[in-house]
Structure 1
Amino acid sequence: MEKKQKERKGHLVLVPCPLPSHMSPMLHLAKLLHSQGFSITVIHTQLNSPNQSHYPEFSFESIGGSMLESYSAFDGDVMLFLSELNMKCETPFHDCLIKMQLCSQYNPISCIIYDSVMYFSAAVADDLQILRIVLRTSSAANYIGLSILDENDCHSTQECRLEEPVAGFPFLRMKDMPLFSTQKHTRKVLTCIYNGTKTASAIIWNSLWCLEHALFEKIEDETLVPVFPIGPLQRYSSNFSTDVLSEEQSCMAWLDKQAQSSVVYVSTGSVITMSKDELLEMAWGLANSDQPFLWVVRDCLVNGSDGVEQLPREFHESTRSRCRIASWLPQQKVLAHRSIGCFFTHNGWNSTIESIAEGVPMLCWPRVGDQRVNARFVSHVWRVGLQLEDRLLREEIDRAIRTLFVDEEGIQIQKQAKELKKKVEISLRQEGASSDFFGRLVKYIRLQETMISLSNA
C-alpha cells in the first residue's frame, strides 16, 4: 500500500453519497482521476458501500458504522435522509482524516472531492485546511432551480400557479420545479448544500457544456469559482467490472433478436416506487402500444411489494411474444443496444444523460427531486423526448409511444436525439469541451498542490 501511494503524485480523498445514483458518478470520476496519476482514497458509509474488489487500484476507508440501515427507513423522504446522514458523518469523517494524516501508508492529502449533498465534508476540510472541490451529480438547470426554491421559501405549489412560468427561467413552469416528498427539512438541507457548493474552491459537474453552457456561465459568474463540466462521466470508464447475471444475459440475447430501434426500454430507477394502479396503467399502456418492450420491475417497486406479482395473467398472455421483464439490468449497456428505440424513464439525471449520450429518445415520467426539471429540458429545450403530464394513464402512454415511433413529431425527436449524441461524442474527443475541461481540472488540482506546498515550505 505504501509503495503504491508513493509512486503516484497527489492524494485525493473522494466522498460519495451512498445513494446509487450519486455513488456511480463519483466512482467514474475516481477512475478518471486515477488514470491521470493521482492516488485515490474513497471514504464511504457502510450503507450501500462500493464493492472494493471492483476497484483494486483505490484505497477505501469506512465511516459511520451501521448508523443508517437503509434509505427506505426514511419512507422516501430524501431531505430527512440527507439531514441524518450529514449529522452522523461529520465526526467520524474528521477522525478518519486525522488517522490518515498520521498513517505512514498514505501520502499527504492534496484535495477532498465530495458529493455536494455530503456537505459535512466542507466544515471538516476547512477545519483541517485541506483544499476541497465539490462534485454535482445533477444538471446545472436543477442547481438553478433549487437556488430559486432556496430563495423563495422552498416551494410555491398553489394550484392556480402551477402553469405559470418561473421568473428568470421562463421555459420552466412552477410545476417543473424540483419537488420533494416533504418540506420539513428542505430549507436546512438546501442551505447547507449551497453554502458548501458556493464556498468550494471549484465545482465539477457531471454534465456537458453543449447542453447547458449558458447556465454554467451564469453559475460561474455568481459563485466566482471555476466550473468544470466534464460529463458524461460514465462514458470515460464504461468497462467497469460487473456481476454477470443470467437474467442480464438472457435479456441481452432477447434484445439481439429484436428489430433495430424498435424496443421500449422501461426503468424508473433504483429508488422510485409506484402504486398498483400506476403499475397497471403503465403495463396496459405498454401492451396497447404494440411495440416490443423491456421492463425493469424491481422487487419493491410497488409500495414495497413485488411488482411482477401484481401484473394480471391477461397482461402476460397478451404480451408474451414481445415483452421481457427483469428485476435488474445494466442500463448503460441496454441503452447502447441497437434495438432500443425509446427510453420510458423517471428522468433521474444519470438516466437522462445516459440516454442523451446514446441518442435514445425519451418518454418522461418525472416524480420527485430534479426529475421534473430534467424532463422539461428533455421535452422542451433539447427536444429529445415527450413528457407525460400529471396522472399516469394507459391511453396517454399508448399515444406517446406511437408518436415517438410513427408520427412526424417522433421522427423529428429521433433526429434531434441523434444530433445531440454526436455533440456528446465530439465533447469527449481529445479537443472536445468535456475533455478540455477535464484537462483544466487536472491542471487546477496540480497548481493548487504546488501553491500549498510552497506556502508550507
Structure 2
Amino acid sequence: MAEAVEIRPHAIMIPAPYQGHINPLVDLALNLASRGFTITFVNTEFVHHLLSKSHKNTGTDEIDLFSEARKSGLDIRYTTFSDGFPLDFDRDANVVEFWEYLIQDFVVHVDELMGNIVKSCDYKPFLITDTFSSWHAEIANKYNMVNVSFWTQPALVFALDYHLDLLRKNGHFPLPKEKSEDTVTYVPGVELISTKDFMTFLHETDITVEHKLVFRAFEQIENTDFILLNTVQELEPETVPALNQILPTYAIGPVMNFSTRKIKISTTLTQQTECTEWLQSKPPASVLYISFGSFVHSTKQVIQEIAHGLLLADINFIWVVRTNVVIDSDATDVLPSGFEQKVKEKGLIVPWCDQDSVLSNPGIGGFLTHCGWNSVLEGAWHGVPMLCYPLLHDQPTNRKLVVDDWKIGINLCDGESVTRDEVAGKIKRLMCGEFREEIKKVSSVMRNSLDDGGSSEKNLERFVVDLRAKIHKVILNFALVFLMKLVVWKFFESTLRI
C-alpha cells in the first residue's frame, strides 16, 4: 500500500497594518517556517511603502522582508495588496475614516487577494490573521480554510473583551462615573481588577470605532478554529486556563522572541537611529530609555514635564520623540527651549530606534513606557524595570500586570496630572535597583517558557499537531464531497445515456 503523502501546511498570514501587530506576526512566520510550514506573508501596499522608505529605498523600489530567510532555506513568500486608499492618504490624521473602511469594506480587497492566492496553491492553505481583522471568519468560510486568530495583547484583555456582556449585565459597560473605581471579581479567569484599569474604550459612553472593532472581532471568535495568545501562561496563571476551558487557545508568547535572531529582519516602518555606540559610553544600568511607541499620542504639556523631570533627575537617557508624538499635529517644537543643549552630555534624543537592540544593551537600567504590550514583553524579557504611563486602548490594563501583579515597575504619576517633581522622584526610584530581583524572576519565567519543555514551546507544538490534524480533516472532507459529486454526476450521465 502506498504511504500517505505528508501535506506541507501553507499559512497565509495577514497582520493589522501597524508596527506593533506586524512585528510579532513576522516572528511567528519565521518560527512556523522553521517547523516546515510554507508561509505567504501579506502586507498592504502602504505598509510596504513605509518599509521601503525606512530601508532608505525610494517608493518604487521593491523590498522583500524575507529574502534572507529564503536564503537560509525557509519557504516564506511575500506579497502586497491595496487597503483601498492611495499611498498619500493620511491614515493617522483620518484614523476613524480609515478604520471604518477596514471594518466595513476592506473584505473586498482581501477576497480578491485570497482568490488569487488559493488558485495558485497546489492544495488549500490556511489563514492566520490578527484577531482585530474584521473579515477573517467570512473569508475563511468562503474558501473553506482553517482559521487561526492571533491575539497581540495579554490574555487579561482578551478575557475582558470576551465577557463584555457580563460587564454590561453588572453595570460596568459602558462604565458610569460613579463606578470608575469599582473592584470587579466576577469575570472568569480574572481574580480581581479595578475598573480604572479597564481598557479605555470601556470608559466611553458613545460608540466609537474602537467599540466597533472589538465587537466585530469577538462576534467572529466562536467561528475561529485556533486562537494564539501572545502571552506566557505562568504570567497569567488564572486567565489562560480559564480561556482554555471555553475556547481553543494556545499561550505561545512571547512570540517576538521565538526567532533565534539568526535571521535579522527589519520590520520598522520608520527610519531608525543607531544608539549602540552612544550606549557603550555609559556605565551599566545607568540609562533610562523612554518611548511611547509607534502610534499613540501624548500632549505637549506632558512631554515638557517629563523633560523637566529628566533635568531634575540628572540621569543618562535615550528618548524617542516622534515627529507626531503630541496630539496637536501642528506642534513641531515639543521640548522645552534649550533642553537639547542642556542634556547634550547625558541625553540622546532620536525620532526612532531599534527598541529591542536598545533594551538588550547592558547600559539600560529602566524603561519609561506607554505600556504597549510588545513594549511590556520586550522590557520584561530583557530584565528592564518599567515606569508606566499608559495612554490608550489596552495600556491601562497592561499597566496592572506590570505594577500590581508582577511588581516589576511603578506608575509615572499617582494623580491625574504629570508633574516634573514627581517624574524626577519616580525616575530615581526606578533606577536605584529596587525591582532588580522581581524583574529577573519574570524574565526567567519568560525565557524558560520558550525552552524545550517550556509551556509556550509545548503549547506551540500542541497547536502544530492540532492544526495538522484539522487540515487533514478539511482536505479529507473536501475529497469526500468531490467524490460524492463525481459519483452523482456519473450516475446522471449513465442515466441520460439509457
Contact 1:54–1:240 under 8 Å retained in 2: no
- The answer for the alignment partner of 1:258 in structure 2 is 282
- The answer for the alignment partner of 1:71 in structure 2 is 91
Q: Separation in 2 of the partners of 1:148 and 1:368?
A: 20
- The answer for the alignment partner of 1:3 in structure 2 is none
Q: Which amino acid aligns with 1:71?
A: R
Contact 2:366–2:385 under 8 Å retained in 1: yes
Q: Separation in 1 of the partners of 2:98 and 2:162?
A: 20
- The answer for the alignment partner of 1:17 in structure 2 is 16
Contact 2:229–2:252 under 8 Å retained in 1: yes
Is the alpha carbon distance of 1:405 and 1:147 closer, same or farther for their aligned partners in structure 2, counting shifts above 3 Å? same
Contact 1:9–1:38 under 8 Å retained in 2: yes
- The answer for the alignment partner of 1:231 in structure 2 is 253
Q: Separation in 2 of the partners of 1:396 and 1:155?
A: 33
Q: Separation in 2 of the partners of 1:21 and 1:243?
A: 10
- The answer for the alignment partner of 1:179 in structure 2 is 200
Q: Does 1:273 align with 2:297?
A: yes
- The answer for the alignment partner of 1:55 in structure 2 is 66
Q: Does 1:28 align with 2:27?
A: yes
CA RMSD of aligned residues (A): 2.5
Q: Does 1:362 align with 2:369?
A: no
Matches within 5 A, 1:409-448: 411=434, 413-448=435-470
Q: Separation in 2 of the partners of 1:98 and 1:66?
A: 17
Is the alpha carbon distance of 1:386 and 1:306 closer, same or farther for their aligned partners in structure 2, counting shifts above 3 Å? farther
Is the alpha carbon distance of 1:322 and 1:9 closer, same or farther for their aligned partners in structure 2, counting shifts above 3 Å? same
SS at match of 1:109: coil
Q: Which stretch has the larger CA shift, 373-382 or 23-32?
A: 23-32
Displacement of 1:418: 0.9
Displacement of 1:442: 1.5
Displacement of 1:340: 0.7
Q: Which stretch has the larger CA shift, 178-187 or 330-339?
A: 178-187
Q: Which amino acid aligns with 1:74?
A: N
The C-alpha deviation readout for 1:411-456, integer Å capped at 9, x for no partner, is 2x22100111111111111111111111112112211122223323
Displacement of 1:96: 2.0
Q: Separation in 2 of the partners of 1:294 and 1:375?
A: 22
Partner residue of 1:126 out of 133, 138, 141 = 141
Is the alpha carbon distance of 1:170 and 1:448 closer, same or farther for their aligned partners in structure 2, counting shifts above 3 Å? closer
Q: Which amino acid aligns with 2:151?
A: R
Displacement of 1:304: 5.2
SS at match of 1:47: helix
Q: Does 1:209 align with 2:233?
A: yes
Q: Which amino acid aligns with 2:65?
A: H
- The answer for the alignment partner of 2:43 in structure 1 is 44
Q: Does 1:391 align with 2:417?
A: yes
Partner residue of 2:106 out of 89, 93, 97 = 89
SS at match of 1:309: coil
Contact 1:265–1:343 under 8 Å retained in 2: yes
Q: Which amino acid aligns with 2:198?
A: M
- The answer for the alignment partner of 2:491 in structure 1 is none
Contact 1:264–1:340 under 8 Å retained in 2: yes
Displacement of 1:67: 2.3
Q: Separation in 1 of the partners of 2:153 and 2:267?
A: 27
SS at match of 2:122: coil
Q: Separation in 1 of the partners of 2:318 and 2:326?
A: 18
Partner residue of 1:135 out of 150, 160, 178 = 150
Q: Separation in 1 of the partners of 2:242 and 2:320?
A: 38
The C-alpha deviation readout for 1:225-269, integer Å capped at 9, x for no partner, is 2x21111112122342339999633x2111111111111100000
Q: Which amino acid aligns with 1:248?
A: T
Q: Which stretch has the larger CA shift, 378-387 or 251-260?
A: 251-260
Q: Separation in 1 of the partners of 2:161 and 2:383?
A: 28
- The answer for the alignment partner of 2:59 in structure 1 is none
Partner residue of 1:161 out of 172, 179, 182 = 179
Displacement of 1:187: 3.9
Displacement of 1:170: 5.6
Partner residue of 1:403 out of 429, 441, 450 = 429
Q: Separation in 2 of the partners of 1:202 and 1:47?
A: 29
Unaligned runs of 5+ in 2: 53-62, 71-75, 480-498
Is the alpha carbon distance of 1:257 and 1:307 closer, same or farther for their aligned partners in structure 2, counting shifts above 3 Å? farther
The C-alpha deviation readout for 1:73-101, integer Å capped at 9, x for no partner, is 335x5xx6443213222122122222223
Give the TM-score, by structure 1 length.
Answer: 0.89
Q: Separation in 2 of the partners of 1:70 and 1:121?
A: 25
Q: Separation in 1 of the partners of 2:177 and 2:352?
A: 37
Q: Which amino acid aligns with 1:418?
A: K
Displacement of 1:158: 3.4
Q: Separation in 2 of the partners of 1:65 and 1:170?
A: 40
Q: Separation in 2 of the partners of 1:134 and 1:123?
A: 13
Contact 2:22–2:267 under 8 Å retained in 1: no
Is the alpha carbon distance of 1:202 and 1:240 closer, same or farther for their aligned partners in structure 2, counting shifts above 3 Å? same
Q: Which amino acid aligns with 2:423?
A: I
Structure with more helix by fraction: 1
Displacement of 1:305: 4.5
Q: Which of these two proteins has the greater Rg computed from alpha carbons?
A: 2
Contact 1:93–1:121 under 8 Å retained in 2: no
Q: Separation in 1 of the partners of 2:43 and 2:343?
A: 43
Give the TM-score, by structure 2 length.
Answer: 0.82
Partner residue of 1:374 out of 363, 385, 398 = 398
Contact 1:64–1:89 under 8 Å retained in 2: no
Q: Separation in 1 of the partners of 2:12 and 2:291?
A: 33
Contact 1:299–1:306 under 8 Å retained in 2: no
Contact 1:165–1:171 under 8 Å retained in 2: yes
Q: Which amino acid aligns with 2:19?
A: P
SS at match of 2:390: coil
Q: Which amino acid aligns with 2:181?
A: E
